[in-house]
Amino acid sequence: MTVWSDIVTTALLGTDRRPLPSELPAWANAAGVGSAGDAERRVLDLAAAHRIVAQAGRKGHSSERSPAGPTAVPKQRLPLPPPAAERMLDGLLVRPDAAAISHWLGACAREGCGLAARHWAPLAGLAGRSTAYDRAALSVALGERGRWFVHQNPDWRRLAAVLDAVADEPEPGDGPPVLPTPTAEQVERDPELLLAVADPWPDPLVTAALAGLVNGRMGGKLRTYARTLGARLSHAQYASLGLLAQRFLELPQLGPAARRGVRNLFVEIERAGYDRIEIERGFDPSLKLVVKTTIPPV
């Protein structure tokens, strides 16, 4: 079966020097690019068809496997997010961060909005490769039409099954069981305990979690946890982050290298916290403007 690289070679050499392959890829046939017409026009038609295939997350050399899932295309029922929120998602997708994108998806789902079609493939690709992305929020934001789209790519069949399962889950009743709130000492020993506490977090627990991070309790998960922590800070806790950082940076036991590491940690927390604030304002411009916090230098 001819692959995309063969067609590119023909385009580069010219159809006078290299004829267009007679056997075209399955995606070309599906796009209605047949054997009729002059070779130059068919090369252009194939390029256009391949572009559409690539934007849909499919591989240009894929076989004729039938896509899974329903074949009837559902209607788009969810309204699109505000333009400011959509532009923000465009920026987040340039250098994807799971915590920020997950928070954007959560805000989108809470506001009852749906993803624009151009975002379906990039987000499905990210969520298909990593469970760090909020698949429950993605399922809601995709809606029926977006989930149908995910089913059309066999490479996403596992993700499609997860998205369908989440969509079919009944609405929660009384919510998850209420767990006892950990003490500050417990959170300092295991900062991840803080994530099990419902927002808003008590200030002493946030300080204890930061102390646990500074002491290296999270190991290789340090940056990921820092981003997750920052994305869930209240506006008041975000505003006080600079002062908290100053307190930790002045610890006498820290050497120059450790001090730089602590500052980098607070920079990650601050960035995630401000991303959350900007995302919320993207969906609701009437929210109060929050001044960006500065982490002290070292």
DSSP assignments along 75-126, one per residue: P--SPPPPHHHHHHHHHHHHS--HHHHHHHHHHHHHTT----HHHHHHHHHH
Residue 195: predicted pLDDT: 87
CA–CA gap between residue 265 and residue 144 (Å, rounded): 39
User: In one letter, which amino acid is 221?
Assistant: K
User: Is residue 202 over pLDDT 90?
Assistant: yes
204 phi and psi, to 5 degrees? -60, -35
Report which of 42, 52, 53, 51 is spatially closest to residue 20, judged by C-alpha positions: 42
Tell me whether the omega of the peptide bond preceding residue 70 falls within 30 degrees of 0, making it cis. Answer: no
> Tokens for 93?
């997708």
Convert the pLDDT of each residue in 107-127 to its tens digit: 999 999 999 999 999 999 999
3-class SS of residue 234:
coil
Report which of 222, 266, 253, 273 is spatially closest to residue 100, judged by C-alpha positions: 273
Asked if 254 contacts 262 with a C-beta cutoff of 8 angstroms, the reply is yes
More confident residue, 240 or 181: 240
User: Is residue 62 over pLDDT 50?
Assistant: no
More confident residue, 47 or 187: 187
pLDDT category at 63 given cuts 50, 70, 90 is very low
Asked if 237 contacts 203 with a C-beta cutoff of 8 angstroms, the reply is yes
More confident residue, 199 or 241: 241
CA–CA gap between residue 122 and residue 125 (Å, rounded): 5
Residue 64: predicted pLDDT: 45
**What is the torsional sign of CA 213, 214, 218, 223?**
positive
User: Is residue 23 over pLDDT 70?
Assistant: no
User: How far is CA 160 from each of CA 62, 64, 90, 98, 113, rounded to the nearest angstrom?
Assistant: 18, 19, 23, 19, 20
Report which of 276, 246, 261 is spatially closest to residue 214, judged by C-alpha positions: 261
**What is the torsional sign of CA 56, 60, 61, 63?**
positive
Chain mean pLDDT for the chain: 83
pTM of the predicted protein model: 0.69
Domain boundaries, the chain: 4-55, 83-168, 184-283
